[in-house]
């Protein structure tokens, strides 16, 4: 009985590892689910795929520009950040649904990978794709 509970506890803790830990170790953001409410620059299928953010110059400058772009968005806040990973939450205007927006800096490729996904529901009616493109415009200053 004790062994079963211990194993269950270990499995729960392992399951609750943050996306940040996974991203740092694997240099990979979580895969999108089958539902159409997610986009990712690391997705291979057309339904979920979106381009990463490309930059020239220093990675630190690009990361600072990204932070500014995120903080310029309404109802969006940064909830976790380290040297190469950033997790923000974006709340919908009417119902306050939370979407997760994640970024992974890959300096040697001069890219910032992005993933934006709804926490609930099946379809997001293109909200996450539009959010990423709006952030891209803010990031590039367009």
- Give pLDDT tens digits for 54-104: 999 999 999 999 999 999 999 999 999 999 999 999 998 888 899 999 999
- CATH architecture of the domain covering 2-140: 2-Layer Sandwich (3.30)
Sequence ranges of the domains in the chain = 2-140
Query: What are the distances in angstroms from CA 134 to CA 25, 36, 71, 93, 141?
Result: 29, 19, 12, 16, 10
What's residue 66's pLDDT? 98
Q: Say yes or no to pLDDT of 3 above 60.
A: no
Q: Say yes or no to pLDDT of 10 above 50.
A: no
What's residue 26's pLDDT? 59
């Amino acid at each position: 009985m004790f062994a079963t509970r211990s194993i269950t506890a270990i499995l729960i803790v392992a399951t609750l590892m943050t996306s940040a830990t996974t991203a740092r170790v694997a240099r990979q953001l979580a895969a999108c689910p089958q539902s159409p409410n997610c986009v990712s620059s690391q997705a291979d299928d057309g339904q979920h795929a979106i381009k990463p953010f490309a930059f020239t110059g220093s990675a630190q400058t690009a990361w600072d520009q990204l932070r500014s772009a995120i903080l310029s968005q309404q109802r969006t806040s940064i909830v976790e950040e380290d040297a190469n990973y950033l997790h923000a939450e974006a709340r919908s205007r009417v119902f306050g649904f939370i979407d997760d927006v994640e970024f992974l800096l890959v300096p040697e490729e001069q890219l910032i990978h992005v993933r934006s996904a709804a926490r609930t529901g099946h379809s997001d009616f293109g909200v996450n794709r539009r959010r990423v493109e709006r952030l891209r415009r803010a990031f590039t200053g367009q």
